[in-house]
Amino acid sequence: MNAINQLKVKVFADGADLKGIATLAANPLIQGFTTNPTLMRKAGVGDYAAFSQEVLKIIGGRPVSFEVFSDDFAEMEQQAREIASWGANVYVKIPVTNTKREFAGPLIRRLAQAGVQLNVTALMTNDQVRDVVACLSPSVASYVSVFAGRVADTGRDPVPLMAEAVRILQPNPKAELIWASPRELLNIFHADAVGCHVITVTHDILGKLNLVGKDLGDYSLDTVKMFYNDAQAAGFRIATR
């Protein structure tokens, strides 16, 4: 396992807590930021645009992705163009389909040809990756976000899928693959090993970075101490004969 500072994969922080974003913005390991409507709702965000402007102030010029939230492609396009106007470091997240399972390809193609930096999101198959890459512009920076963690939730190994996705993106040097929705810190090393360009990591998983390379004997002892201290603090007793 490589040390964190030897990783080639770029680590982006995924979240909507402004305090957490500010803390992570001070960490040189974090090279970009992403969020989505679900994370924003959980964080209690009420004003989408105002929240996004606060994020932009905090993170400086690092790339950040904000997502459209309409289910109508025409309205998605209007939202995307507005979001793109917020800064040169902004990428617009477009879902691979709408809720009717209609492919967003024509919209992706129009926006890419107009120079909008895209983050096409919620992909889970390499057929989707191929379809999306065919719509992207080879001259405009973009991300293709495959939800490897959700693939793993179905009992499938996402590593070969992501390795193949890396190969599919090779003809477009401006398109970068995102390993999205990781379930554990180890996924950062999985993404690095297959040549994935970016991994988006939630704030709670990023909190485990200090464990990378930790001596397992020491970690075992820490775990024993945790169980003992919690039992003492809870006042557990078993009557013995």
Domain boundaries, the chain: 4-213
From first to last of its 241 residues, the chain has per-residue pLDDT tens of: 557 878 999 999 999 999 999 999 999 999 999 999 999 999 999 999 999 999 999 999 999 999 999 999 999 999 999 999 999 999 999 999 999 999 999 999 999 999 999 999 999 999 999 999 999 999 999 999 999 999 999 999 999 999 999 999 999 999 999 999 999 999 999 999 999 999 999 999 999 999 999 999 999 999 999 999 999 999 999 998 8
pTM for this predicted structure:
0.93
176 touches 166 (CB < 8 A): no
Place of tokens 């470091």: 89
48-59 and 18-25 helices cross at what angle (nearest 10)?
A: 20
Q: What are the C-alpha distances in Å from 114 to residues 64, 107, 168, 193, 230?
A: 19, 11, 23, 34, 58
| 3-state per-residue secondary structure call for the chain | CCCHHHCCCEEEEECCCHHHHHHHHCCCCEEEEECCHHHHHHCCCCCHHHHHHHHHHHHCCCCEEEECCCCCHHHHHHHHHHHHCCCCCEEEEEECECCCCCECHHHHHHHHHCCCCEEEEEECCHHHHHHHHCCCCCCCCEEEEECHHHHHHCCCCHHHHHHHHHHHHCCCCCEEEEECCCCCCHHHHHHHHCCCCEEEEEHHHHCCHHHCCCCHHHHHHHHHHHHHHHHHHHCCCCCCC
168 touches 208 (CB < 8 A): no
CATH pick for 4-213 out of 3.10.20.310, 3.20.20.70, 2.60.120.200, 3.40.50.150: 3.20.20.70
Residue (of 123, 122, 57, 113) closest to 90 by Cα position: 57
122 touches 93 (CB < 8 A): no
Strand partners, 25: none
